[in-house]
Chain A
Amino acid sequence: MERLIPEIVNGIVLGAFYAIIAIGLSLIMNLTGTVNLAHGSFLTLAGYLAFVLLQRGTNFWLALGISAILTVFVGLAVERTLISPLYKRIPLYSLLLTFGLALIAEEVFRLIWGPQSVPFSTPSSLQGATIIGDTVLPTYRLAIMAVLALVMLLLLLFLYRTRQGLRLRGAVLNREMMAALGINTQVLYMMNFGIGIFLAAVAGVLASGLIGLSPTMGNGLLMPAFITVVIGGMGSLAGCLVGGLLLGVGQSVTTLYAPAASEIVTYVLMAVVLLIRPRGLFGEEGLFG
């Protein structure tokens, strides 16, 4: 038992990462049909930007904020110049384009910061352990959980309590109707993409402190995030959350009992969920077949 609880906490942290990356992917997918294979590159980019800032002695939280905002600007530039011309074509093309971008980004990171992982230091106040009851938990993991929960809460507030959020949800259902109502859908696409990248950037900086920062860091997290979307069901943000936590906890607990199977369990989970519920746990009938 005393080994199980920390593993479950690890799993929840891992799952929260999967969930927040998956929510970003899902937002972009639902609105514009773009499968963003370069999502992982934005995680890595944010990580390296924060790394540079931290080296110059910037406060950790400030570095997190600045790098996330800078990454969002890069993301918006990419969306406007390269991805938005493809919205009117079949989704295969944006899939391939972002795949190419991911190749380029990985090589650029390698050129600038080298192929090995760089020492990414978390602030001393977040190192060490926190004792809750009888269990000892790493403080940094608790901080990650708090930040990710806060970001998710803000996202929900935005989507369900603001006018722009309402428009976004409306456009997911019917973008032609939104355009007919006089709403500039291009701005919505941009905003939506920016939010997705922001979520990725926050996750990227926090993950760098946890699993280390290397040119392939983000791409390693991308595949579980895709599977999270599949398990949770396309088109559902709640699905991403539940799917991510399920995946994270499932992986961590398997690591404890059968380390070799920790990756396979991901795919077993996915296959089981799809056999029982072909559209995923919370997937809406009809949306994307």
Chain B
Amino acid sequence: MKRTLDAAGMSLLAILLLGMPLWMNLVQLNVSLGTSLLLFGLAAASVNILVGYTGFMAFGNAAFFGVGAYGSALFSHYILPDNMIVATLVGALTGTLSALILAPFLIRRRGIYFALLTVAFGQVYYFLAYRWSNVTGGEDGFSISRPHLFGPSGIPMEGAAYYYYVLVIFVAVMAFLWFLVRSPFGLSLRAISQNEIRVRYLAINSDHMIFKALVISGMVAGIAGSLYSMSINFAYPLLMDWHQSGDFVMMTILGGAGTLWGPFLGAIIYTLAANVLSSKTETWQIIIGALFVVCVLFFPKGILGFLSRPATAAEDIDATARVRTEHAIEGERA
């Protein structure tokens, strides 16, 4: 039964995504909105690797996203103009590098200390982009023209063409994540989120695992950021701000952290809500803030988590057990 439902859901999703440029046209939306949905979905998926699977409070993924955005924007401007594939690869690479640089500061930290450090170090990139204005354009941002697929004589990437390019990468990354969470590595990440001490007793170096998770998360966020800057033809410092990171975490929680498709669902709902609300009322931030509060208080497992199994008192006990484990780890280190 569950298998049939899953298959039906996946086919529906595939049809919706493949036909996006068509039906978005029918409901009078721009296809660039569809592209944004996919990319915020990827950004939320990058958060999900840390928050959902590993149980680490990553509050700085917008930094990786932004570095990816600036990476491909600056690369297309200064080094090799007009080649989308190479620009995307550079975005992925710079995203990975940005996480590699931070990882040594972060991997030994747990709980709220980890959260604090991701916020604080994420801001480093923000201020770099903000202050290094003769290269990055500073506060005004940095505009680019969207490259062709394989260099100047290649295929132009307007509208639907660009959407399908993003869709291909989106599917590839999601497939990669699907394999990742089922691999031994993915299992040990989930084990870390449940009981890190036991994982250490199993002779698994959890710091090592977290290092890898951070770098993979940085890469996925970098890809998303790179494609986003080419989608809006623009990169600006606020992309890296910790408020953006908070939005990504919220998308993840809203859809259901620790599930493969939850973050994408959260990204869709969040982005559509923000889009509709900001066009209707100037005080949309209040409604988004209230959405945060309601979701945290009443739907902590997110929409997919809420649908797949009803929240019970046992869930709360489970969470307490987790907090206890954290304390125990502290005790062990003391």
Q: What is the interface of chain A, defined by CB distance below 8 A to chain B?
A: 29, 33, 35, 37, 82, 85-86, 88-97, 99-104, 106-108, 111, 223, 226-227, 229-230, 234, 260-261, 263-264, 267, 270-271, 274-275, 278, 285-289
A93 to B111 alpha-carbon distance, docked (Å): 12
A47 to B10 alpha-carbon distance, docked (Å): 52
With A103-B288, A289-B333 already in contact, the answer to whether A35 and B115 are too (CB < 8 A) is yes
12 additional contacts, CB 8 Å, given A88-B323, A100-B290, A104-B286?
A: A33-B112, A82-B297, A90-B322, A100-B292, A101-B292, A107-B283, A107-B286, A264-B124, A264-B131, A270-B121, A278-B108, A289-B333
Taking a contact as CB atoms under 8 Å apart, the answer to whether A91 and B123 are in contact is no
**Nearest-CB residue, chain B, relative to A219:** B243
Taking a contact as CB atoms under 8 Å apart, the answer to whether A91 and B111 are in contact is yes
Q: Which of B287-334 contact A (CB under 8 A)?
A: 288-293, 295-297, 300, 316, 319-320, 322-323, 329-331, 333-334
Taking a contact as CB atoms under 8 Å apart, the answer to whether B112 and A288 are in contact is yes
Which chain B positions have C-beta within 8 A of A111? 283
With A264-B127, A264-B131 already in contact, the answer to whether A93 and B285 are too (CB < 8 A) is no
Taking a contact as CB atoms under 8 Å apart, the answer to whether B127 and A88 are in contact is no
A264 to B131 alpha-carbon distance, docked (Å): 9
Taking a contact as CB atoms under 8 Å apart, the answer to whether B329 and A289 are in contact is yes
A265 to B255 alpha-carbon distance, docked (Å): 38
Which chain B positions have C-beta within 8 A of A101? 289, 292-293
A94 to B323 alpha-carbon distance, docked (Å): 13
With A90-B323, A223-B120, A230-B117 already in contact, the answer to whether A97 and B108 are too (CB < 8 A) is no
A289 to B117 alpha-carbon distance, docked (Å): 12
Q: Is B119 an interface residue when CB atoms closer than 8 A count as contact? A: yes
Total interface residues on B, CB under 8 Å, equals: 52
Taking a contact as CB atoms under 8 Å apart, the answer to whether A289 and B286 are in contact is no
Taking a contact as CB atoms under 8 Å apart, the answer to whether A288 and B285 are in contact is no
**Nearest-CB residue, chain B, relative to A91:** B112
Taking a contact as CB atoms under 8 Å apart, the answer to whether A92 and B57 are in contact is yes
B103-119 vs A, CB cutoff 8 Å, 1 = contact: the mask equals 00100111111111101
Q: Is B270 an interface residue when CB atoms closer than 8 A count as contact? A: no
Among A95, A97, A106, A260, point to the contact of B293 (Cβ < 8 A): A97
Taking a contact as CB atoms under 8 Å apart, the answer to whether B283 and A226 are in contact is no
Q: Is B253 an interface residue when CB atoms closer than 8 A count as contact? A: yes
Please give me the 5 A-B residue pairs with the lowest Cβ-Cβ distance, nearest first: A100-B292, A286-B334, A104-B289, A103-B289, A289-B110
Q: What are 25 A-to-B residue pairs whose CB atoms are below 8 Å?
A: A29-B112, A37-B246, A88-B320, A89-B316, A89-B323, A91-B111, A92-B253, A95-B59, A95-B112, A96-B250, A96-B296, A97-B293, A100-B250, A100-B291, A100-B296, A106-B285, A107-B283, A227-B120, A229-B116, A263-B127, A263-B131, A264-B128, A264-B131, A267-B127, A289-B114
Most chain A CB atoms below 10 A, which of B59, B113, B117, B121: B113
Which chain B positions have C-beta within 8 A of A29? 112
Q: Is B189 an interface residue when CB atoms closer than 8 A count as contact? A: no
Which chain B positions have C-beta within 8 A of A103? 285-286, 288-289, 292
Among A94, A107, A226, point to the contact of B119 (Cβ < 8 A): A226
Among A88, A95, A227, point to the contact of B319 (Cβ < 8 A): A88
Taking a contact as CB atoms under 8 Å apart, the answer to whether A270 and B120 are in contact is yes
Q: Is B249 an interface residue when CB atoms closer than 8 A count as contact? A: yes
With A35-B116, A278-B108 already in contact, the answer to whether A90 and B297 are too (CB < 8 A) is no
Which chain A positions have C-beta within 8 A of B291? 100
Q: Is B51 an interface residue when CB atoms closer than 8 A count as contact? A: yes
A261 to B112 alpha-carbon distance, docked (Å): 28
Taking a contact as CB atoms under 8 Å apart, the answer to whether B297 and A97 are in contact is yes
A264 to B316 alpha-carbon distance, docked (Å): 41
A275 to B117 alpha-carbon distance, docked (Å): 13
A103 to B286 alpha-carbon distance, docked (Å): 7
Which chain B positions have C-beta within 8 A of A106? 285
How distant is A32 from chain B, measured CB to nearest CB, in Å? 10
Among A96, A271, A287, point to the contact of B253 (Cβ < 8 A): A96
Taking a contact as CB atoms under 8 Å apart, the answer to whether B113 and A234 are in contact is yes
Taking a contact as CB atoms under 8 Å apart, the answer to whether A285 and B319 are in contact is no
With A86-B296, A288-B113 already in contact, the answer to whether A107 and B285 are too (CB < 8 A) is yes
Taking a contact as CB atoms under 8 Å apart, the answer to whether B286 and A108 are in contact is yes
How distant is A18 from chain B, measured CB to nearest CB, in Å? 13
Which chain B positions have C-beta within 8 A of A264? 124, 127-128, 131
With A96-B253, A267-B124 already in contact, the answer to whether A286 and B330 are too (CB < 8 A) is yes
Which chain A positions have C-beta within 8 A of B319? 88-90
A260 to B320 alpha-carbon distance, docked (Å): 46
With A90-B322, A103-B289, A226-B119 already in contact, the answer to whether A97 and B296 are too (CB < 8 A) is yes
Taking a contact as CB atoms under 8 Å apart, the answer to whether B293 and A230 are in contact is no
Which chain B positions have C-beta within 8 A of A263? 127, 130-131
Which chain B positions have C-beta within 8 A of A108? 286
Most chain B CB atoms below 10 A, which of A89, A92, A111: A92
A264 to B123 alpha-carbon distance, docked (Å): 9
A261 to B334 alpha-carbon distance, docked (Å): 37
